[in-house]
Amino acid sequence: MSIVAVVGRPNVGKSTFFNRLIQRREAIVDAVSGVTRDRHYGKSDWNGKEFSLIDTGGYVKGSDDIFEAEIDKQVELAIDEADAIIFMVDVESGVTGMDQEVAKLLRRSKKPIFLAINKVDGASRMNAALEFYSLGFEYQYNLSSINGSGTGELLDDLVKALPDTEEPDDSELPRFAVVGRPNAGKSSFINALIGKDRYIVTDIAGTTRDSIDTKYDRFGFEFNLVDTAGIRKKSKVKEDLEFYSVMRSVRAIEHCDVIILVFDATRGFDGQVENIFWLAQRNNKGIVILANKWDLVEDKETSSVKDYEKYIRQQCEPFVDVPIVFVSVLTKQRIYKAIETAVEVYQNRSKKVKTSELNDVMLPIIQNYPPPAYKAKYVKIKFCTQLPTPYPSFAFFCNLPQYVKDPYKRFIENKLRENFDFSGVPITVYFRKK
């Protein structure tokens, strides 16, 4: 699929334009400059032609700010991989020195450049837009990202300049969300996996703000990896931007298949990590726990892994059937093992057990260990089946479902896990009237 990058200095309206074209509020929009940091991908189409759109951070030449230096690197990478570039400027500010720096960078790229003059939302601003001819680009368009005026002419010419390519639809690919607290190593984990600096990584908590997809297609595996912002306690979230970032992360959990929960092993499996774990469990998602920075843990002994694993499982009770992988993203220790485990968990979540096999295994167990009598009433379970849900859920049909209590439900769940591999996946058990 052809790739179009939206570039420009900070705060000219690139993310608003991006959201309009993909018809979703994917990128966070705020009056503060520098909100977008990583390259943000989405799909758009015009006149029957699909293309990938990249939203980039604002380009700032020669800044001492650690984020702006990293954002510049991301912008240059986006320009390299794009087939065409939309260069966005702001009519309110006129031509600035930064616009001229971006123009120099783009002219070196030899790619088709479409100059989009944003915020031209009235006839009075048409004349002001004429000064942008000084930047020397052939294609110049007056538009407004907020109300959409003028975007049609730009898109008409843009799709004509794109090469004819086709790509199979990857919307049905499994989605693996990488979640955790700030600074646990989530972005570094994805960068290490894909072998590129796809995401900005710094020691400052809150570097990642949006939840961003990356297609992974290596070693026989194919799925979408979703990098998310770190999730902190509500009381710690002070600014609107972080609130929206956390909400995007929660939404990413709700819309994925498997959660890769990354935590800093030097800080421990603390209360906030547990909260993220239980959020994933309540949403019936597959879960893999990654203890990152294991190489930095001091005073390790032969039994350290087993002891630490036992401690994590105690925190996760009663849902203890979760794979735990000890990794170091920095040294790439066991990161591919983590992905193999996540794929296995996805397969477990998608597993369907034949009704005949399920009854052959479970009914003899139930006969030997029936539900305890309640008020002198005996529960008789005659039949069971797996329900057609996206995650493992089972219905057991009996005469008195109201008398089956939680301890027996957990017993049934444990027997299902013993006989059918559902490692890393929450199981729901229902008892229904025969």
Q: Which range, 271-280, 289-298, 400-409, has the best average confidence (pLDDT)?
A: 400-409
Per the annotation, does 56 bind a ligand?
Answer: yes
Q: Are 91 and 138 within one domain?
A: yes
pLDDT confidence of residue 202: 42
pLDDT at residue 384 in the model = 93
For 24, which DSSP code?
S
Report whether 231 belongs to an annotated binding site: yes
Query: 350, 371, 393: which is the final residue of a domain?
Result: 350
| 168 found inside a domain | no
One domain for residues 138 and 83: yes
**Same-domain pairing of 120 and 34:** yes
377 has binding-site annotation: no
Q: pTM of the prediction?
A: 0.58
Same domain flag for 71 and 89:
yes
Helices (H) and strands (E) in the chain, counts: 11, 15
Is there a single domain that holds both residue 39 and residue 136?
yes
**Is there a single domain that holds both residue 87 and residue 179?**
no
Q: For residue 170, is it within any domain?
A: no
Question: Is 78 inside any structural domain?
Answer: yes
Number of domains in the chain: 3
388 marked among binding-site residues: no
CATH number at residue 378: 3.30.300.20
Does 252 reside within a domain? yes
184 labelled binding-site residue: yes
230 is in an annotated binding site: yes
Cα(309)–Cα(326) distance, integer angstroms: 9
Q: Is 351 annotated as a binding-site member?
A: no
Q: Does some domain include residue 167? A: no
pLDDT at 274: 86
Indicate the residue among 300, 333, 350 that finishes a domain: 350
| Boundary of a domain, candidates 350, 369, 398 | 350
* More confident site: 124 or 263: 263
Same domain, 142 and 102: yes
Q: Do 11 and 132 reside in the same domain of the chain?
A: yes
d(CA 425, CA 408): 19
- Tell whether 277 and 324 lie within a shared domain: yes
Looking up tokens 């052809």 gives 2
Is 359 annotated as a binding-site member?
A: no
Q: Which domain holds residue 50?
A: 2-161
The answer to the question of whether 52 is labelled as a binding residue is no
Burial 108-126 (b: 16+ CB within 10 A, else e): eeebbbbbbbbbbbeeeee
- Shared domain for 316 and 360, answered yes or no, is no
Does the annotation flag 185 for ligand binding?
yes
Region 401-411 average pLDDT: 90
Q: What is the pLDDT of residue 181?
A: 80
CA atoms of 221 and 225, how far apart (whole Å): 11
Q: Which CATH number is 35's domain given? A: 3.40.50.300
Per-residue model confidence (pLDDT) at position 346: 93
